[in-house]
């Protein structure tokens, strides 16, 4: 039987029934906390996370319906199953209207109780589930993700850069009926406009110069699985109409092809921009927005789910410490306190970078505050004379860069500083498009590496 980390909350004022339910859960190997009324339940709900609430309806002074309404106002996605006598079926109907998942008619068999719990409780999170979700905001998020995963609805994930939109997308895929199919992701901002159409839709042999053989696009590669359109608002307008047609018709036609290919895929799109604003500015099609916005999910910034910070940091220490051949490294309490207090403008991506850097800078078995380097990053919007004074620090940062992304970022920001912040000159020197530079700078700004 799978081990469950979150307990079940049992609310029952009848001591004998409360004990019987506890015995059933204990025999099933399920952790639980049992309380004798609504006030006690609300108190413990403010202190701990639970996978589900099982509550009696007839209690004094707070009955189960009132408790349910309180839970819905505080934790709207926490499942609640109510227990009621046959004579109180009318109350059970009211309970369902108030947001109860289901109700159990007394008396009930132990297996009926366990079946209801297994059916409605929040999904397991943690290392085994591929996500770290301690904060109530995160648990709410993954509860929503778990529910939409059971459908084939198109999902639109929004949130600041670095909040973990792809992590949520992969969670939805793993918990869906398509979990055995492929998960294909494409970053719409990272691919040049000239290549994006062929990358998405595929192409036939001879469709353009260099097309020496036919190639399936990302849509076809995701057949029977999930396609993630990352940063979809960065897609050029010329392709948005073609994307809309693919989503409407559920078929794709390769570049240079004449035969449409039927699609059986689930679409998840992400954006770190205000999509309604993008539509208002005319840079994103309104009809495509509504086609993607079937089930919107907003992912909170890391600073708004602070209980996750230390847990995610510990996860990264284990993950990257293992890759670096340094298992067993841990965070000192003083380092964890600094991490918990930081604003994290770059969200989870910034936290991961900080932990990777700390693992490189630390030589002992523990990471301390001195290894974190959480001081604010320099800005790059000064005049040339001021910007040039930043170059020694940027050059020194090359020595600390631990991967190609760090080197690329420092090269781009150094070039921008050298030309006094002129994006036109930076584009010419770097040999990249204006759209690519804009995307990169937005990413660095969100990570806390750049202001301007």
What confidence tens digit (pLDDT) does each residue in 90-120 have? 666 666 666 787 888 888 999 999 988 887 7
- Give the pLDDT confidence score for residue 75 in this predicted structure: 76
Same fold for the pair 131-298 and 302-371:
no
- Give the pLDDT confidence score for residue 421 in this predicted structure: 81
286-298 residue pLDDT tens: 999 999 999 999 9
Whole-angstrom distance, CA of residue 338 vs CA of residue 332:
10
On whether the CB atoms of residues 344 and 374 are closer than 8 A, the answer is no
Whole-angstrom distance, CA of residue 52 vs CA of residue 29:
15
Whole-angstrom distance, CA of residue 105 vs CA of residue 399:
68
Class of domain 8-120: alpha beta
More reliable by pLDDT, 382 or 77: 77
Q: What band does 1 get if pLDDT is binned at 50, 70 and 90?
A: very low
Q: How far is CA 437 from CA 13, 26, 444, in A?
A: 63, 58, 10
* pLDDT at 365 > cutoff 80: yes
- Give the pLDDT confidence score for residue 95 in this predicted structure: 65
- Give the pLDDT confidence score for residue 173 in this predicted structure: 95
Q: What band does 380 get if pLDDT is binned at 50, 70 and 90?
A: very low
Report which secondary-structure segment, H or E, holds 309.
helix 309-323
Rg over alpha carbons for the chain, rounded to the nearest Å, is 26
> Does the domain at residues 131-298 carry the CATH identifier 3.40.50.300?
yes
Query: Could you count the other beta carbons within 10 Å of the beta carbon of residue 268?
Result: 28
Instruction: Look at the domain 302-371 and name its fold.
Output: Helicase, Ruva Protein; domain 3 (1.10.8)
* pLDDT at 389 > cutoff 60: no
Sign for the pseudo-dihedral over CA of 297, 129, 52, 46: negative
Q: What band does 366 get if pLDDT is binned at 50, 70 and 90?
A: very high
Residue spans per domain, the chain: 8-120, 131-298, 302-371, 384-447
Q: How many residues does the chain have?
A: 452
Sign for the pseudo-dihedral over CA of 435, 440, 445, 449: negative
Going by the DSSP 8-state scheme, the letter that residue 255 receives in this structure is B
Out of 1-5, 129-133, 442-446, which region has the weakest mean confidence (pLDDT)? 1-5
- Give the pLDDT confidence score for residue 379 in this predicted structure: 45
* pLDDT at 18 > cutoff 80: yes
* pLDDT at 88 > cutoff 70: no
* pLDDT at 57 > cutoff 80: yes
Helices vs. strands in the chain: H and E counts, helices first: 20, 16
Report which secondary-structure segment, H or E, holds 270.
strand 266-271
More reliable by pLDDT, 106 or 34: 34
CA–chain centroid gap for 387, Å, is 36
């Amino acid at each position: 039987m799978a081990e469950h980390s979150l307990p079940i909350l049992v609310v029952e004022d009848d001591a004998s029934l409360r004990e019987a339910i506890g015995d059933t859960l204990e025999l099933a190997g399920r952790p639980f906390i049992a309380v004798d009324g609504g006030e006690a339940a609300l108190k413990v709900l403010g202190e701990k996370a639970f996978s589900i609430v099982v509550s009696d309806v007839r209690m004094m002074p707070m009955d189960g319906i009132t408790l349910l309404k309180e839970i819905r106002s505080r934790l709207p996605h926490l499942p609640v199953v109510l227990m009621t006598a046959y004579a109180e079926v009318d109350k059970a109907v009211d309970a369902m209207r108030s947001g109860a998942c289901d109700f159990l008619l007394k008396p009930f068999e132990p297996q009926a109780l366990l079946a209801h719990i297994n059916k409605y409780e929040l999904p397991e999170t943690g290392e085994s589930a591929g996500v770290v979700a301690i904060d109530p905001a995160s648990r709410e998020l993954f509860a929503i993700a778990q529910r939409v995963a059971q459908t084939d609805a198109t999902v639109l994930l929004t949130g600041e850069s670095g909040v973990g939109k792809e992590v949520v997308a992969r969670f939805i895929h793993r918990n869906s009926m398509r979990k055995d199919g492929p998960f294909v992701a494409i970053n719409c901002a990272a691919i040049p406009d000239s290549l994006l159409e062929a990358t998405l839709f595929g192409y036939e042999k001879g469709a353009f110069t260099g097309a020496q053989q036919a190639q399936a696009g990302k849509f076809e590669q995701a057949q029977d699985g999930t396609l993630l359109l990352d940063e979809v608002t960065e897609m050029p307008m010329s392709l948005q109409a073609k994307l809309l047609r693919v989503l409407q018709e559920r078929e794709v036609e390769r570049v240079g092809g004449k035969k449409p290919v039927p699609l059986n895929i689930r679409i998840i799109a992400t954006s770190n921009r205000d999509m309604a604003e993008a539509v208002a500015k005319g840079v994103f099609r309104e009809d495509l927005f509504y086609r993607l916005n079937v089930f919107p999910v907003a992912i909170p910034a890391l600073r708004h789910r602070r209980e996750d910070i230390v847990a995610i940091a510990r996860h990264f220490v284990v993950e990257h410490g293992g890759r670096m051949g340094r298992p067993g490294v841990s965070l000192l309490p003083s380092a964890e306190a600094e991490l918990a207090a930081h604003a994290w403008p770059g969200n989870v991506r910034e936290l991961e970078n900080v932990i990777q850097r700390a693992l490189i800078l630390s030589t002992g078995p523990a990471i301390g505050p001195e290894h974190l380097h959480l001081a604010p990053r320099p800005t790059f919007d000064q005049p040339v004379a001021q910007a040039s004074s930043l170059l020694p620090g940027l050059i020194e940062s090359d020595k600390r860069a631990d991967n190609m992304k760090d080197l690329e970022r420092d090269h781009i920001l150094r070039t921008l500083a050298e030309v006094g912040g002129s994006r036109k000159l930076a584009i010419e020197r770097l040999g990249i498009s204006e759209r690519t530079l804009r995307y990169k700078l937005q990413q660095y700004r969100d990570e806390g590496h750049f202001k301007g």
